[in-house]
Structure 1
């Protein structure tokens, strides 16, 4: 089966790519298709994240395991699209280049039969031009009105000179 997937850059303007890819491909192959479709070199770290219907991020699926010891990190080259994406779970978040945080919304749009003579992955459609730098992120606090934020807490604490502990405690 062939997955038709729309990849949308998290930006104010509409910038997206539609890709066809074999359901038996790995997330690493989807990663390569996305970087090529958006004109990236593909030499930066990246991760996919599972998410719910409201795009709330969940489990990470990394390009490489960067931990010192063998960990439980799920890897792109070991994770197949057909095991992750379905009509019931059609969404993923993709982050490319952790220094720049290019963030994309990945959504399964359709499942079709493979066409003879067509090479996959296949870039179906492009819309919008990728900016030179990633769009700014506006992170918002989840706190309810009336709750204290870090600035409020610092004002309550004052300075640390009055605290009775040795500077060389470590």
Structure 2
């Protein structure tokens, strides 16, 4: 079977920027990563991850391009078939490309169709919009709180007499 995905760039412009792609259900998430990066004009050399998502686009389990975990326990794109994580009951993924720039994409399974004989897959079906030169700026929770101060407790760590501990505890 062939999965048809719509991949939408999360951006702050009025223009919709998305790509419609076709790929075999048995291809890996690395294959999907490759066609997404190519179709949006990226070289594919940066770190990337897919996240399993739900209907409200909450971020779930991560599936990485590379295993950067201490214990080599990360789930990897090249070891994960698309149909292991996407199917009729689970249609959404979040895709993050280049963690320094934070390109964010919403990936949704739009349709499952029969494979067309003589057709090459993966296949870029439709292109809408131009990718901006830079990723949209992300506002994180701590950034939104303009009064955030990591030293808010006003403790003077140099004033040992006012700290509540026994320096001869051992």
Unaligned runs of 5+ in 1: 142-147, 166-170
Cα distance in 2 for partners of 1:150, 1:62 equals 34
- When residues 150 and 52 of structure 1 are mapped into structure 2, their CA distance, relative to the original with a 3 A threshold, is farther
> Which residue pairs with 1:168 in the alignment?
none
Q: TM-score, normalised by structure 2?
A: 0.84
Q: CA deviation at 1:152?
A: 6.6
2:14 paired with 1:10:
no
Q: TM-score, normalised by structure 1?
A: 0.84
> Which residue pairs with 2:101 in the alignment?
100
Deviations 1:120-141 (A, max 9, x none): 1110111110011101112236
- When residues 153 and 72 of structure 1 are mapped into structure 2, their CA distance, relative to the original with a 3 A threshold, is closer
Deviations 1:67-126 (A, max 9, x none): 344x22100011011111012110001111111111111000000111111101110111
Cα distance in 2 for partners of 1:85, 1:51 equals 10
Of 21, 24, 32, 1:22 maps to 24
2:75 paired with 1:78:
no
* RMSD of aligned residue pairs (Cα, Å): 2.2
> Which residue pairs with 2:88 in the alignment?
87
Unaligned runs of 5+ in 2: 166-170
Of 41, 57, 60, 1:58 maps to 60
What number of residue pairs does the alignment pair up? 158
- When residues 96 and 153 of structure 1 are mapped into structure 2, their CA distance, relative to the original with a 3 A threshold, is closer
Q: CA deviation at 1:58?
A: 1.1
Cα distance in 2 for partners of 1:51, 1:27 equals 14
